[in-house]
Structures are given as structure tokens and as C-alpha cells.
Structure 1
Amino acid sequence: MLVAHPPSLFFHSTANRKPHTHSSNPQQPVLTMTKSSPCIIDCDPGIDDTLAILHAMGSPKVDVKAITLCYGNTNRDNVTKNLFTILHVLGKEVSSEHLATIPAGPNRDRLEHIRTKKPVIAVGADAPLVVEPAYGEDFHGPDGLGRLHLSDPDLAPSDWAEILGLLDPEGVGKELDKAAGDLPSEKLFTLSRKPAHDEILTQLAEAELNTVTIIALGPMTNLSLAYEKDPATFARVKQVICMGGCLNMAGNVTPVAEFNFHACPHSVHSILQATINEDPAKAIKLYMLPTDVTHQVSLESKTLKEYVTPLGTPLSKFSTLLLGYLFDLLVTKLHYTAMNLHDPLCIGFFIDLEHEADITQVDWHVEEHDIRIETEGRLTRGMLVVDRRIKSTKPAPGSHSRTQVVLKADPERYLASMLYDIWGVTNYNEHAKDV
């Protein structure tokens, strides 16, 4: 769910930053791929989910094994159509016809590498476990993709719905001329007939123990269903990284709750409990990126106009249309000129967690907290509760958890990485030097 804060809150001073000791600089093109870390992305595309998926697909350091889908920012049919649209446009970006126009070098190598990625797509939950659905269409549009499917009915590939047998494809267009030109599209996926929670368990069962990370960008219903069905197989996961919750900030969907956790609080409770299972073979490690950290990182409309729109590629044209809708909405309703990068930041954290020897040296700060979530409250559904008492004779109600909470990031470092991995922008590092 996207909610913006005034631009003055986005960026942190770099005056006292620790010297970087890592070997790779995300502001520079990646010449060689030393390691590609496997992950499953569970999501509800969504505008910021779109950027997260594109970043993961564009990074040579990320091996996207599967993308599993859940209701959330909009209904399940819409998020499914949106994912196929995203991958369809990305397929045009990496088509052989488009690659032929790009000079040999790191950026072309990056695009060539994307062509090798064929994540399994699985469709999952269409409603929360207990509560009534609450969508995020006020920000993401009634189609979940900035009204693009309403203004341009030819945006999705013609067979997106027929592929999964979800909807009658009649009326869905055959071309993508308006958004991304008439280039052919490389197929960047394979399909699973299993529901998402079963596909998650299959991926974990077939992978080496503690190698695959799950990155949860929407309601965690699929994750909870998978864990409840087979906790021992689910616990083969290396770690779960989720975007959700707010600790010391106001909520973005209610005064006290963040959208993803408000959408299905019972699934969050289930995953929190999985961090302290008495059987070590059924316990998981959970990293949580609440809005406390995701509000620190934003993309400004002027950055899109200066660095992305002039590229004129299929993906830059699509991105300009998609993000233009949101920036117009933010200016009109909130007088903001930037969008918070909630979901994409999870991809940046995953990359550094896997590839940096010490994430504190690249300005991540993580604290372990006992996090609980309110599941039943009429006014407090999805609210996180942290026991901040120093001393007490009474324990906090409910079961505790052991959650690794990410509370600080380096905005400019992440932006440079995202801009390059998604669009091949190589000159944003010059901007960063002046910030």
C-alpha cells in the first residue's frame, strides 16, 4: 500500500556515514554475477509491487524461483492480470529485437540475463483468513495498476486470462502499442496449476535446506496457509522478509495499522508465532520492514522525468504511464511529489542480506523485538503491539515472537541500485554525490 510523507522526511544526511567496506557498489553497472540468491516473491501487484518485481527480475543477484499471488491492493483476478502485464512489458524490454538496438556492455548483459529468468507463477488466496477483504484501490486504482487497464484495454497480453482459466479473455486486447510499442514479448514465466501455498511448499521441499528466501509484499495469507499445512516443510525456508506494520508511526490505512497487516492480521499472527515454535524444525526467521523504514526511501516525480522517461524503452514508457498516475494522485490529494518505495525496499534488503558481509556497513539497522498483532479489535485491527515496559509483574498478553525489525536504510544507495537494475540508469550516482 502506498502512502507518502513530505519529501523532507525521505532522505537522511550522509555526513556521518560509516565507510563502506563492501566490494560491490550498487551505483555502478554489474559486470559479472558472482552469486544469484533464490527467492519466492509473494505479492499483490499493485504499483509498488510492480517496481519490486521489476527490481528482482532485473538484478543479477536475485534468482526469482516463483511469484505467488494474493488478493490485496485489488482483487485476485486483477493482481493476476497485472503480473502478466508486468512480465509482458518486461518481455518486450528484453526481446531480441530490442536488444539488437543496445550496444554491447553491462546493461545489455543485464537484459540478456533477465531472459534466463522463468519464475513459476501460482495464484493463491482470494480473501483473508477471517476478516472481510479491504483492498487498496484508492491508491492503486480500481484495476490495481493505476487505471492503465481502463484507459488502455490492450495493455495485457491477449491470452493472460485464458492461460489460467480465470476469466473470459474476450475484450482483452492483442497489442501493446500505446504503452510499449509493437515489439514481440519474450516469455518470462512458467505456470503452476497448484494453489500458491502448495507451490510455496513444493519450491521449499525441492530446494536445498535454508537456501530459499520468501519475500512477502502483500497480505501473508498464502504464507500462513502454507505454514499451517506443513510447518516442517515451510521451515526449510532460509528466512522470510515481509513488508508490513508500523511501530512508531501512524498507520496508513487506519490511525494505527499498515495496509498489509490490516488486510489479514490472523495470517501475520500465524507467521509471528512461527518464529518461536518449540520445535526448532518448525521455527522460522522473520525480518520485518515496517513503514518506519520504508518511509525513509522514496522516488520523486522529477527523478522519473529526468532519468527514466527519456530512455524511451518499452519499460520506461510503461513505467512513465504507471507512475504518472500515482504522482498525479499524490499531488492532487496530498500535495506530495514523491512516492514511498515500500515493497521495492524489501528487494534491496534481501540483496544486501545475501551479498554483504555486514549489512550495518551499508547503513541497515536491525533490532530484534517481541512483536504481537491485534487481530480482533474494531478500531485496532492490524495494530502492532510492542512491550516497551522495563519492569513489570505482569507479562504481556498473548504469545511472544522473535522478529528482526529493520529500522534504517540508506535511501540514495537503494535508489541508485533500483534505477540501474530496473531501467539501466547509470548516471544517478552523479546525483547521489551531490546529496
Structure 2
Amino acid sequence: MTAHKTDSSTHRIMAPKKIIIDTDPGIDDILALLLALSAQPEEVEVLLISLTFGNIEVRSCLRNVVSMFHILEREMHWRRERGRPEGFGALRACRPVVAVGAEDPLEDQKMLADYFHGTDGLGGIHASHPHFTPKETWEHMFDPSADPTVIEPIRTGDLAHRSFIASKRPAHEEILRVLRENDPDTVTLVAVGPLTNLALASAEDPETFLRVKEVVVMGGAVNEPGN
């Protein structure tokens, strides 16, 4: 989708910023995802959400993302029924692929931060408010034992599955696929978790990885433990 945002001096048509979000959600990263998905479609296009271990185990990260989409669909449905603007323009314009990535670091011992956001990454919300988690079994959608070359929309009754496309391929392979399918220097990789998926992608196909426009990292801390 091409936006019609015009630069007053050059009259150039500006396309939306294409991004991959590599994440380990966590409360903070869920908020970051919501911010990106609520952007105007002419501003941001979220092509891929790739998941990694970090705050919690990667499967818990996946549950948090699926639950986020579950709540977003319920919210947009509520707004539609009352004639209110649905919001989340970037999400409605482009359903992102969701892919499961690294479970462990390449070297050294895995260190999780479940003491910070809780063992589920969301302050225990899946136990205290189970209705916020999709009721049906959803993990099969990411089962790599099926044909990994096919990405299809999920055909189930859960509203959450209308908002994303589940991939059966590892996240680092999906990163490379997105970079191959888009022009060089058009996709920004936003990394807000451990960088293992990026390391795997760059090691597997350095030439394709160099097609990325830029890598934006949320990392590092001064005089504080953590990132």
C-alpha cells in the first residue's frame, strides 16, 4: 500500500516505513507492538513479528502475542458494533506474519528476566484473567512438522487469528524471506529483545541480510542491570 504523503519541497510520494519487530514480549514489548499496530497505515507497515526468548521462554512470548491479537480483535469488534472508529490502522491494512524464533542463546547460559514482568511476562495475567487468553488450542498453527513452505491465513473460529498470519518456519528464516521479497534498503529491523534471531539470519545468508535498511536496537543500560 503506497501512501500519498507529499513532501512540500520535492513533491515526493512517501511510502510507509516497512518494519520487522524482533521481540520477547513482556509488558514493555507488548506496549511497543500496540504502538506500531495503532499507527496510521501510511506511516508504518509491520511485515513480521519474530519472537525470541528473553524476558521469558519463547513459547510464553508466543502466547502473549496471540493473546494480544485476541484482545485487539475483541476491541475492534466492540468499536464496530457501536459505530466508533476501529483504530489500529496499520494492523487492519497489513496483517503481520508471526514466527517463533530462538529458544536459547548461541553461547553461554540462558538468562531470563521472569522476575521482572512475572513468569508469564505479563504480570500473571493468564492466571488471574484467563478470559484474556484465547480458549482454543492455537499452538498447532506454528507446528513446524507441517509444510514449512506454506504460509496461510488461519481458518478457525477465533477472532484473534484474523489479525495475523502464523508461520511454521523459524523466525530467522522469515526475516530472510521478508528481506528477499522487498527491495534492498526498504525494511527496518527493530530489535527489542536478545539478538539471536538476527545472528542466525546474518550467519545463514549474509548477502540477503545486508538488504536491510537499518537495524534499530533497544539495548544497553548504564549503571543498571538488565539490557
Within a 5 Å distance, the mapping from 1:110-259 to structure 2 comes to 110-111=87-88, 114-157=91-134, 158-165=136-143, 185=160, 187-246=162-221, 249-253=222-226, 258=227
d(CA) in 1 for partners of 2:139 and 2:196?
23
1:45 is the counterpart of 2:25: yes
1:98 is the counterpart of 2:94: no
CA 1:71–1:126: 2 relative to 1, 3 Å: same
Structure 2 unaligned segments of length 5 or more: list them.
1-6, 8-12, 145-157
d(CA) in 1 for partners of 2:55 and 2:68?
15
Deviation (angstroms), 1:149: 1.0
d(CA) in 1 for partners of 2:17 and 2:127?
37
Deviation (angstroms), 1:155: 2.3
Secondary structure of the corresponding residue to residue 169 of structure 2: coil
Instruction: Decide which of 75, 85, 101 is 2:57's aligned counterpart.
Output: 75
CA 1:159–1:113: 2 relative to 1, 3 Å: same
d(CA) in 2 for partners of 1:242 and 1:102?
39
Aligned residues: 200
Deviation (angstroms), 1:162: 2.9
d(CA) in 2 for partners of 1:162 and 1:152?
23
Amino acid at match of 1:193: K
1:143-190 CA-to-partner distances (Å, cap 9, x unmatched) read 111101121233221232232249xxxxxxxxxxxxxxxx95572101
Amino acid at match of 2:194: P
CA 1:186–1:225: 2 relative to 1, 3 Å: closer
d(CA) in 2 for partners of 1:144 and 1:109?
27
CA 1:93–1:34: 2 relative to 1, 3 Å: farther
d(CA) in 2 for partners of 1:209 and 1:123?
24
1:37-91 CA-to-partner distances (Å, cap 9, x unmatched) read 1000000010000000001111011100000000000001100111101111112
1:390 — aligned with what? none
Deviation (angstroms), 1:113: 5.2
Deviation (angstroms), 1:250: 0.4
- Larger CA Rg, structure 1 vs 2: 1
1:238-279 CA-to-partner distances (Å, cap 9, x unmatched) read 000000013xx20223xxxx2xxxxxxxxxxxxxxxxxxxxx
Amino acid at match of 1:217: V
Deviation (angstroms), 1:236: 0.1
Higher fraction of helix? 1
1:36 is the counterpart of 2:16: yes
1:66 — aligned with what? 48
1:359-387 CA-to-partner distances (Å, cap 9, x unmatched) read xxxxxxxxxxxxxxxxxxxxxxxxxxxxx
Q: Is the 8 A contact 1:71 1:127 kept in 2?
A: yes
Structure 1 unaligned segments of length 5 or more: list them.
1-22, 24-32, 167-182, 259-435
Amino acid at match of 1:207: N
Q: Is the 8 A contact 1:73 1:137 kept in 2?
A: yes
d(CA) in 2 for partners of 1:189 and 1:52?
17
Secondary structure of the corresponding residue to residue 94 of structure 1: helix
Secondary structure of the corresponding residue to residue 66 of structure 2: helix
Calculate the TM-score normalised by the size of structure 2: 0.81
d(CA) in 2 for partners of 1:187 and 1:233?
30
Q: Is the 8 A contact 1:94 1:186 kept in 2?
A: no
1:320 — aligned with what? none
Instruction: Decide which of 23, 28, 37 is 1:57's aligned counterpart.
Output: 37
2:4 — aligned with what? none
